[in-house]
Structure 1
Amino acid sequence: MSGRLSAITMALVFAAMVVPARAATIEITMENLEMSPKDASAKVGDTIAWINKDVFAHTATAGNGDFDVNLPAKKSGTFVLKKAGTVEYYCRYHPNMKATLKIEP
């Protein structure tokens, strides 16, 4: 019995090692024509959730074309990160609203 228990224990330990880590959700708030935080870090597979608390529409538009998320007033939008790198993004309607995402593999 102890050999079987040992094999089961080893199988469980191995399974725990190969299960991928859960992706995170990073929230970025748009309020008073500001993005907060302006600099955020994430990993490939994480979800970015932009929350527009303003009374007018915004966008989260990547300068490199990776994403362009429309955010109506008082609504939110999400995007799952697909590749590593540093992405600068802005609001197309309010170009002074800028932020940066640092995405790790």
Structure 2
Amino acid sequence: MSVSAHAATIQITMENLVVSPTEATAKVGDTLELINKDIFVHTATARNGDFDVTMPPKKTVSYVLKKAGTIDYYCRFHPNMKAVLTVAP
């Protein structure tokens, strides 16, 4: 897999049981940086099965985006925490 030299890092923060931003855009090859500022474990679980990332409390987890598409994702432990990520080719 080759990654463009122009790959970006997209930051998504989970704080006070809220995902911010609730809508983000990225490209295949970009890194999704998931920042959990809460004292609870959170997940970023794609409804289409593209990813399921667990974030321990007060930790940051990174994930490289591999597929284009519009991805609805949520926290399995706190289903009211949801957002949309649009990934361009």
Counterpart residue identity of residue 15, structure 2: E
Match of 1:38 in 2: 22
**Counterparts of 2:5 and 2:26 in 1: how far apart (Å)?**
13
Structure 2 counterparts to residues 66-81 of structure 1, below 5 A = 66-81=50-65
Match of 1:29 in 2: 13
Match of 1:54 in 2: 38
Higher strand share goes to which structure? 2
Task: Identify which of structures 1 and 2 has the higher relative contact order when contacts are C-alpha pairs closer than 8 Å and 6+ apart.
Answer: 2
Q: CA deviation at 1:83?
A: 1.1
Higher helix share goes to which structure? 1
Deviation string 1:5-64 (CA, Å, 9 cap, x unpaired) is: xxxxxxxxxxxxxxx441000000000000000000000000100100001110000001
Report the identity percentage. 67
Normalising by the residue count of structure 1, what TM-score does the alignment of the two structures yield? 0.79
Structure 1 runs (4+) deviating above 3 angstroms are none
Q: Which runs of 5+ in 1 are unaligned?
A: 1-19
Counterpart residue identity of residue 53, structure 2: V
Does the residue aligned with 1:41 lie in a helix, a strand or coil? strand
**Counterparts of 1:64 and 1:35 in 2: how far apart (Å)?**
18
Instruction: Name the larger-Rg structure.
Output: 1
Q: Which runs of 5+ in 2 are unaligned?
A: none
